[in-house]
Structure 1
Amino acid sequence: MSSPASPARGRPPRLDRARTLRTALDLLDRSGLDALTMRRLADAMDVQAGALYRYFATKQDLLTAMAERMMDGVADAAAGSGDWSEQLAALARAMRTALLAHRDGARVFAGTHSTGENTLGFADAVVGVMRAAGFPDDDAARALHTTVNFTVGHTLEEQAALQPGSSSPDVLAGAVAAGAYPHLAASLPALTSTDFTRHFEFGLAVLIAGLRARR
């Protein structure tokens, strides 16, 4: 007799880990993280919710696996780049691109601590770039933390600002105009700009300049 997780012979499997992750990412892209529940995922796969726990004991386990899947191939970004600063920049850019590829991707990643080969491979690539450049092991590890924290934090804000209905630039502009903030008023075009790539590249350049000075 077949079951929701074990269909009759000749039919494609209705439930496996890879398909569950693909469906979860599809739901994330369509509805966002807040709407992603184990029940909705089970409904999308036409199985009982309990069947999902064969592969993911909790929703947090599912989110961790989703974050790991997002990082697929990101560690390869430094290949063929120039010196350590260009390699580090390439890795940070690739991580941002990977998170932006999915709605709320940064929120998913920020709440997880994957030890899968994609995430650890990325971390190893960053630390390896720094060690090869002559940074002490402790500095190389902290450079990894700094790069990841900057990239994830920036992408969190970027994706929040791009949500439908977001009015953050207008709200900020109105608040500055209504008060006595001469310095903010002078820099308002940059503060309210939605050129997030330019914002990211500025912060990344500052980060790398700081590491270069420390080295």
Structure 2
Amino acid sequence: MAKQFTSIWTREPRQPRGSGLDRAQIVAAALEILDSEGLDALSMRKIGAKLNAGATSLYWYVANKDELLELVLDEFWGMLHAPESEQASWREVLTTFAYSLRGSMRAHPWVAGLVGHIPSIGPNAMRVSDRLRRAFTEAGFQGVDIYRASGTVMSFVLGQVLPEIAYAKTYGEDYDAESVSQVMSKVAGDYPEMFADYRDVAQTDPEVARALGFDFGLLCVLDGLELRLRDGDRSRLRK
């Protein structure tokens, strides 16, 4: 039998009990733990201790940990910024959104373990999705292409940032650039031209390299979407 899809967003929040706790306090405590200790450290017991409440009392508000993660993931989507499509061009909306998503993910790396694993159908996620939808609609995209274009931008940002977060978690931000160059000179011995490119072109500051790579890639994505939009306009005119 297929697994039934459920979500905390399909029911009304329960009213506070005598403890005085509410859902917002629980989510805020969870976010503090996530930011300071990471996703693996989060538990209902820790949240209860932080709020001076028993872990079992939290289950009045959330049925299980997955429901709690739905709530904190939606709080993350609420951190993002993008202007209204009536106030900016579609490229400005998408550029602001992309940089906001990148910055927020890097500031809250625990989200890397939730995106794609936990449903994003809360009010903040829906607001962000609709803002992107309206930007692409006003740009001239139609039908399913609206959502394909939005998904393309989202996939680009995730594809750039998720490896950054994974690398930082595994190796940390500080490493000896010279030792990396020495290793590369050995493993790339059969590819002298590629190693010369790495040595002469690659940025020595990894943060600068990542930022420049993100800039380049985002411009390519938006340029490609704009070109597709223009081609679509020309096709419609020929019909």
| Alignment TM-score > 0.5, same fold | yes
Unaligned runs of 5+ in 1: 8-12
Deviation at 1:168, TM superposition (A): 7.5
| SS in structure 2 of the partner of residue 26 of structure 1 | helix
**Structure 2: unaligned runs, 5 residues or longer:** 1-16, 230-239
What SS does structure 2 have at the residue aligned with 1:109?
coil
Instruction: Check conservation: 1:29, 1:102, Cα contact below 8 A.
Output: yes
Q: How far off is 1:109 after superposition?
A: 3.4
| 1:160-175 superposed matches below 5 A | 160-163=166-169, 165-166=171-172, 173-175=181-183
The amino acid across from 1:129 in the alignment is A
Corresponding position: 1:186 with 2:200:
no
Query: Greater CA deviation, 89-98 or 114-123?
Result: 89-98
> What is the CA–CA distance in structure 2 between the aligned matches of 1:55 and 1:78, rounded to whole Å?
33
- Picking from 223, 226, 229, the partner of 1:212 is 226
Is 1:48 aligned with 2:54?
A: yes
Paired-residue identity, %: 28
CA distance in 2, matches of 1:36, 1:18: 16
Residues 167-176 or 118-127, more deviating: 167-176
The answer to whether 1:62 aligns with 2:68 is: yes
Under a length normalisation based on structure 1, what TM-score does the superposition of the two structures give?
0.81
Name the Cα RMSD after superposition: 2.7
Amino acid in structure 2 at the alignment position of 1:205:
L
Which secondary structure does the structure 1 equivalent of 2:78 belong to? coil
Deviates more, 1:71-80 or 1:24-33: 71-80
Count of aligned residue pairs for this structure pair: 205
Tell me, in whole angstroms, the C-alpha distance in 1 between the residues paired with 2:205 and 2:42: 31
Moved more, 153-162 or 204-213: 153-162
Instruction: For residue 141 of structure 2, give the secondary structure of its aligned residue in structure 1.
Output: coil
How much does 1:98 deviate? Answer: 2.9
CA distance in 2, matches of 1:144, 1:47: 42
Write the distance in 2 (CA, Å) between the matches of 1:207 and 1:96: 15
Going from structure 1 to structure 2, the CA distance change for 1:122 and 1:169 (only over 3 Å counts) comes to farther
TM-score normalized by structure 2? 0.74
Aligned 8 A contact 2:85 2:135 in 1? no
- Report the equivalent of 1:10: none
Q: In 1, Cα distance between the equivalents of 2:141 and 2:176?
A: 39
User: Following the alignment from structure 1 to structure 2, what is the Cα–Cα distance between the partners of residues 194 and 34?
Assistant: 26
Matched-pair contact (CA < 8 Å) for 1:177–1:185: no
What displacement does 1:199 show?
2.5
Contact 2:74–2:122 (8 Å) recurs in 1: yes
**Is 1:37 matched with 2:43?**
yes
* Structure number with bigger Rg: 2
Aligned equivalent of 1:95: 101
Q: Give the CA deviation at 1:51.
A: 1.7
Bigger drift between 132-141 and 74-83 goes to: 74-83
Distance in 1, matches of 2:176 and 2:156, equals 21
Q: Which moved more, 1:169-178 or 1:19-28?
A: 169-178
